[in-house]
Structure 1
């Protein structure tokens, strides 16, 4: 067996566990979580969560950092987020109803708008991507690239500091297959910067402690003026 085959099998094994998969999906919100928070989310004991986290950190999927007495974990980088989201997008939609009205409402909120690591996903994320494409700001035919007009818009009307784009090593624009819409939304530096701006201006606010976000009245007005969405 080749070294590549062994490494690929080892990587797949890291996600071939429901608890570890649940933790990675939770961390797609782009924030750092404690072991206790992830244990509660996955419905396991803290000791069990810690054991799984050690495997995920050791396998390179998660990174950890300490602040005082607390240890936090997050996805290692954007490429891990893309891997998890791409795998989730290939799942068949579940035909079973949600477990009660609360679960159904949470699922619908995730479908409408959520963060995918550091960029916007769901119906709203795809709508922003489509609007940029229709306006000639984004070319999906050329490997998901910002056009010259798109770059000028991003650093003009989009309100993004040009210096923040030059400091990045990631692709400026990248297509990320949306696991609920089954269509691509904008990732990469451009997607991350837009999502950060929308949250900073409170056009978007988080719903609870998860990945779901919702448009505020200011956000509806802002996106209508910015991209004609509304």
Structure 2
């Protein structure tokens, strides 16, 4: 099929200046990271942290940069510094470096945590300033242990977020069109989807796969 019929309430308009292959992940990774930034008022002059530089994290960096925030990527991988700066980060902090983390303690307005592996969430909550928020969009398998006094001492908050509604998704797409934002993608044929899945498990992709649906015709 080359056309489909859908309910108009669920139709989204992709700006014509965006490459469709690179725009496709905006409907997942894009809205997942845009929505909490919109909700918590990320604007020019805010200090924003992004924990993890993967499929979600790289979109968060692009959005925070376009919104005018001072963007700091928090990663356990020193090798990701060059890519983080290319994507729009102003600083990169290696989370295993206690001195670097201490330097930023109590200074963030907002932190987006995109890590799904088990990690110490308190280390990042401690970076929030008075009234700061940390939103979790990653999904660790094990329950997270949060130290109560890390939150109540400075009226910090810890929340979660997952995608967004149709109106907000359209707003996100329009924002992407205005700022020429798309995901960094690797286009693959459908025949390599299993190989791509194995690579995904190894975090061997920068930063999203897009499937060339025309490759279905060769099946």
* Superposition TM-score, scaled by structure 2 size: 0.25
More helix by share: 1
* Larger RCO (CA within 8 A; separation ≥ 6): 2
